[in-house]
Amino acid sequence: MQVYADYAATTPVKPEVIDKMTEIYKHHYGNPSSIHSIGRDARKFLDESRRTVAKHLNANPEQVIFTSGATESNNTAIRGMAYKRASEGKHLITTKMEHHAVLHVFEALEKEGFEVTYLDVTKEGIVNLDQLREALREDTTLVSIMLVNNEVGTVQPIFDIEMILQDLNAQLHVDAVQAVGHMPVEFNELAIDALSITAHKFGGPKGVGVLLVKKDTDLTFSQLGGEQETKRRAGTENLAQIVGMAEALKLADDNRDQHNIHLMSLKETFLVQLQERAVPFEVNGSMVDTTGHIVNLYLPFIDVETLLTLLDMANIYVSSGSACTAGSTKPSHVLNAMYGEDDRVYRSVRFSFGSETTEVEVKTIAAELQKIYHRFKED
């Protein structure tokens, strides 16, 4: 039996999404920028997808920029806002537990003369709001904080962050990649200037995403070429994947409540199973301010590399953190930010579930962890 429990890394593409994409590949292959009838046919699907994405993120269609994924969206937003307002100030703020698609951008900006403050987080993975207040300056032009952490599932207090930033000069960018399908993402209800998502985290294809940008938020757009996306993102739109993403987003939003009930039930079953089997563990992060699809566990009896190898040999597929850092020998920067140089950063693993995950599968994982525990306990 194979058990996939790495949904935070990527999700299987929904059958309905594949059907929509196949239809585009077969019958609607035109370039949306072409003015002939085949191009206009393609444009119709592009515009419809834009309206669908806007509807399910509570945004306006003109706020939607289609991209190649969250990495491009994050890069475009952070660099774009930092460059555009550099004459007003070059102080930027983010947290120590952001995804590397955010952190590496800020590190690069530091080399270009910007000053960056990296906020601490609590042991539950919550940003230090007092430190945010203290860090804000007259020359602070940008704050970037993720909505849901990709390694521990912690939900950040975005409303509190908004309140702190109100009436200040700083703009706010939010990486909402892990939020879609797990909590409402209401762009126009939030005082956010830019927001990033990617399709493959909620049943869509890889290689396509969205950057939402408020009307009065100026960015310097660096990708030059044609006039696609109202001159904001040059390059022929990947129509089939955009249509697939729109369908995946609709399904994720429409089924969110049912999906969350399923995930919370799986998480409870998983933790209870471990307790009943007397497997020692501690949950990394918050048990309250969290989503249902991520469970990050400290397992004190084994190092993470050995555990991942044994689980893989048992056909159970999980990860120690972000798939984007696979192969790295460094401990998780997220856990390091939460716990410092603690032993648990070398003995923690992320389990992440999806709508296709079954109760039998989470019980199978618990049973295998019990076998591994007794093997290493005896050693």
238 and 259 inside one domain: no
Closest by CA position to 204, among listed 69, 72, 76, 71: 69
329 and 199 inside one domain: no
224 and 270 inside one domain: no
Query: Which of 137, 324, 368, 374 is the catalytic position?
Result: 324
Q: Three-state DSSP class for 316?
A: strand
Closest by CA position to 186, among listed 35, 60, 102: 60
| Paired sense of beta strands 115-119 and 171-175, if any | unpaired
Rg (CA), the chain: 21
Q: Which domain holds residue 43?
A: 15-251
Chain segment 70-115, per-residue pLDDT in tens: 999 999 999 999 999 999 999 999 999 999 999 999 999 999 999 9
Chain segment 311-367, per-residue pLDDT in tens: 999 999 999 875 555 555 578 999 999 999 889 999 999 999 999 999 999 999 999
Chain segment 28-65, per-residue pLDDT in tens: 999 999 999 999 999 999 999 999 999 999 999 999 99
116 and 200 inside one domain: yes
74 and 142 inside one domain: yes
106 and 160 inside one domain: yes
The domain boundary residue, chosen from 222, 251, 280:
251
24 and 69 inside one domain: yes
316 DSSP β-pair partners:
3
354 is catalytic: no
Q: What is the CATH number of the domain that holds 41?
A: 3.40.640.10
The domain boundary residue, chosen from 204, 223, 251:
251
319 and 283 inside one domain: yes
The per-residue DSSP string of 202-215 comes to TTS-SS-EEEEE-T
312 and 268 inside one domain: yes
Q: What is the CATH number of the domain that holds 271?
A: 3.90.1150.10
94 vs 106: CA distance, rounded Å: 8
210 and 338 inside one domain: no
Please report, to the nearest 10 degrees, the dihedral formed by the alpha carbons of residues 338, 342, 343, 344 taken in order. -10
269 and 320 inside one domain: yes
Residue type, 220: T
Q: Three-state DSSP class for 173?
A: strand
Say which residues have a Cβ less than 8 Å from residue 346's Cβ, sequence separation at least 6.
303, 304, 331
Average pLDDT over residues 220-248: 94
**8 A C-beta contact, residue 148 and residue 291:** yes
The domain boundary residue, chosen from 229, 251, 273:
251
Question: Is the pLDDT assigned to residue 377 strictly greater than 90?
Answer: no
Specify the number of domains making up the chain.
2
162 and 259 inside one domain: no
